Amino acid sequence: MVQWRAATLVALVLGGGAASAESEFERYRREQQSAFQGYLEERDRAFSDFLKTQWEEMQVYHGMVRDTAPKPVKIPQAPKPAPQPAPELTPQPKPTLKPQPEPEPVVAPKPEPVVAPKPRPRMVAPVPPPLPEPPLPEPGGKRLKLTFLGHSLELAYDPKLAQRFSARPADAAIADHWAALSAADYKPVLEQLQGLREPLALNDWAYVQLVQAFSAKLHPRSDSSRALLNWFLLAKSGYAARVGYLESGRVYLFLPSEQKLYDTPYLTFDGKRHYVIRAKGDSGSLGRVYSYNGKYPGAERRLNMALVRALKTRGDYRKRDLSFRFKGKEYRVHARYDRNSTDFLDSYPQMDLEWYFRSKVGGAGEGLLEQLRPLVEGRTEPEAVNLLLRFVQTAFDYRTDDEQFGYENYLFAEETLRYPYSDCEDRSVIFAWLVRELLQLEVVGLNYPGHVAAAVRFSERQPGDSLEYRGQRYWVADPTYVNADFGMTMPQFAKATPEVIALR
């Protein structure tokens, strides 16, 4: 840079003026770009050469199982409190009435005008954010249209990225395919994909799904071509992505994660689990897998699966009617969920419970909060918690995951609003969200063997079952124990010590 400034100064002194300075800058910029492009090409050549010699059979580990204890198929109902006998009344003597003076006529005050309450604002579907326009393709380039989170996207790409992997998977064939992909003009596609992160509030898992959607559009009929393009684009995006191939000829993508993933086979590299990334329903043993014990330079990033922001989908809202009774009165609630959001959430591999409790709920949840908020306003903390308990206990029908899905499937709060049934952990997640949002009370999860509940910290000491956690007292609140108030533990878990799930 110093050399360029010196050359510019000489040009100005000699009378070259601004045009000469501009040409010097352009030449310097081209030289730097050329040097950087040469570095990238050399890095890809070195990595391609590495891939030709470093493959070996890898040990495949079966997916971890989260909780082997069976969940209750039928849930108990809390016993109704026994009616208390009416107290005996001692007859009292009738009082002697003294004559009262005639009251003076009372002039009724003029009635104050009745002010009609302001109507509550109606829930309006959020306007989807404007999406960045794809750059115009270079001569010979193409455009690709796809739908993601309900948004219609159009991406420009180099046709060389669409080349199909038709060879039988082997070391040299995969190395050659990497070299061919790296020879394409892939940078505009990466810029467009990464440019969608902020407008759509994509976390790492959503970004992976976006890359997969792009690859699937280019290779709708070739699983191996799709997996290799995913690997290439994610490695170029900085993720520690790897591929492995099976003796059957199938290629799979593997990625490391900061969170443990369950029921998902994995390979281990440098002591870190790399989980297989495959479509839901593509289950079963992988068999013998061949991969390489190395990584693309600069590709170090692990997936962070946490949902700390609600995705910005193009809302496809569906309504669900719910009802419950509390203290002899029936309430009806019209909840809604976003089909685009819940479709994305369904793609998630299973994680530890804490990530479901901590996850941000999408905009569809605001409608439920708005309808429940007037029902808890003006009530004491204990009464408001009991109302929310009764809502979750009785407004949703209970079935275990095995009965509803055929496999263990923890649900995010918004998914519980979509599916017809829910079990203990699903109810605990949505109950904890309601308590935090509507009452601003601290909640923890309680993980028993084969059962999940919650516990609430009140402002004042309360009766009933409780536990101490980090110097604070929390009272048991079980959204599955039908008609149970807080402080009541389901009988079969009364003597068990639960694991406490912190939500912060």
pLDDT digits (tens, 9 = 90+) for 306-330: 999 999 999 999 999 999 999 999 9
What type of residue is 121? P
Tell me 154's DSSP state. E
Q: State how far the Cα of 315 lies from the Cα of 335, in Å rounded to an integer.
A: 14
pLDDT digits (tens, 9 = 90+) for 371-382: 999 999 999 999
Give me the pLDDT at residue 27, please: 59
Give me the pLDDT at residue 6, please: 33
pTM for the full predicted model: 0.81
Tell me 352's DSSP state. -
Q: State how far the Cα of 178 lies from the Cα of 52, in Å rounded to an integer.
A: 11
Tell me if 472 sits within 8 A of 442, measured CB to CB.
yes
Q: State how far the Cα of 153 lies from the Cα of 162, in Å rounded to an integer.
A: 18
Decide if pLDDT at 104 tops 70.
no
Average pLDDT of the chain to the nearest whole number: 83
Query: Interhelix angle for 424-439 vs 365-376, to 10°?
Result: 60
Q: State how far the Cα of 466 lies from the Cα of 380, in Å rounded to an integer.
A: 19
Residue 394: count of CB within 10 angstroms of its CB: 18
pLDDT digits (tens, 9 = 90+) for 408-443: 889 999 999 999 999 999 999 999 999 999 999 999
* pLDDT, average across residues 108-131: 43
Short-list 487, 391, 501, CA closest to 451: 501
Q: For residue 163, with 0-12 CB atoms within 10 Å meaning exposed, 13-18 middle and 19 or more buried, which class applies? A: middle
Q: State how far the Cα of 174 lies from the Cα of 180, in Å rounded to an integer.
A: 10
What number of H helices and E strands is found in the chain? Answer: 14, 17
Decide if pLDDT at 335 tops 50.
yes
Residues 6+ apart with CB under 8 A from 265: 60, 61, 62, 63, 275, 276, 285, 286
Decide if pLDDT at 495 tops 60.
yes
Tell me if 447 sits within 8 A of 353, measured CB to CB.
yes
* pLDDT, average across residues 257-263: 94
Of 11-15, 168-172, 352-356, the least confident: 11-15
Tell me 479's DSSP state. S
Q: State how far the Cα of 348 lies from the Cα of 280, in Å rounded to an integer.
A: 9
Give me the pLDDT at residue 370, please: 96
Helix (H, G, I), strand (E, B) or coil at 115: coil
38 or 378, which is more confident: 378
Short-list 359, 358, 347, CA closest to 261: 347
Find the helix or strand (DSSP H, E) in which 212 lies: helix 204-218
Tell me if 260 sits within 8 A of 253, measured CB to CB.
no
Give me the pLDDT at residue 82, please: 46
Give me the pLDDT at residue 63, please: 74
Residue 15: count of CB within 10 angstroms of its CB: 7
User: In the block, which residue shows the tokens 């393709």?
Assistant: 137
* pLDDT, average across residues 176-201: 96
Give me the pLDDT at residue 52, please: 85
Q: State how far the Cα of 102 lies from the Cα of 390, in Å rounded to an integer.
A: 54
